[in-house]
A and B are shown apart, each in its own frame.
Chain A
Amino acid sequence: MVFTEGERSSYLVGLCNKYGDFKVAKGFVRGDKKTFTKRKNVLELWQSDEGMKFLGVANCRQILNSEIILDMDEDASEKRMNDICDELDSYGFLYKAYFSGSKGYHIHILENALIKYSHVSRQKIRGFLISKFKCDPHMASDNVLIALEDTEHFKTGQPKTLLRESR
């Protein structure tokens, strides 16, 4: 499934409503370089028609404060993704595992209580889980952009597709 522009903006507004404000951007390839538009807050964009239009074409978003993302760019395989998901199930985490649309897999873990932690502790908690599964350590930060779910990847044009959900 790939979002239409309308669905995409509704999805982002819904996320903002549920988990708090975050930034979005549109990524594209210029020459052989990845480039991004200026990051904009969903809350701000939401207030104007022009902003809603931008939400409809945004293809990257900031990690949510209540989110941990395991990015398996290196050594990515569906088997490894499933192994990680099995372990996440044993923890009891709520997650969605996607094919990123590019090289690897993204596992989005949503944990509402994470938002109550300080910025520093949140990074430590994310960092701990990321290092446990040997995923991309950059994803521990609050400021990283990630490809938007159910949207074509700006480099490959392939959609980020849901493969597995928590039990």
Chain B
Amino acid sequence: MRILAVSGSLRSASHNTSLLRALREEAPEGVEIELWDGLAEIPAYDADDDLVPGPDAVEELRAIVRGADAVFFSTPEYNSSIPGALKNALDWASRPLATNVFRNKPVAVVSASAGAFGGVWAAAELRKVLGAMGSRVADVELAVGHAGEKFDEHGHLIDHEVRDTLREGLEILISEVTPAEVALEA
């Protein structure tokens, strides 16, 4: 199983990117987690350029999402919402909506921020956007507040509670990829 990890932050010492590196450390056997590093290459969405094929960086994103069994997002929060670069990348990936690469794709969203609330509003908005794109949004909640205290100077996650919740989130996402037979409820 291949899981794509997408950080909403471009900052080199990003807590969100560090969180996804910790996620990779928690990958069970048989699960490969790839950290996407192409966010900065995505041009601003312009419907005039929304052709087939689209810009190279966009087609690379679409291909890598298409090839992944699931996508795990970690996002910072800018002005109570999703970072523009991440939203822009999703706007590209969502086209055309009816057949986009995120359709039916299991996704999980977590967030981290230096503030007390851990980016909880950005995460909620990201779930809304992914749902509108037709993704299968897993029931995963983790908002890492005061993120500066949760990582060491090398960006290594040192908070065991966060690590446990992160691993549980990964397990939930994996279970969305291979669900047990859904029983009809009376």
Are A and B bound to each other?
no
Chain A interface residues toward B at CB < 8 A: none
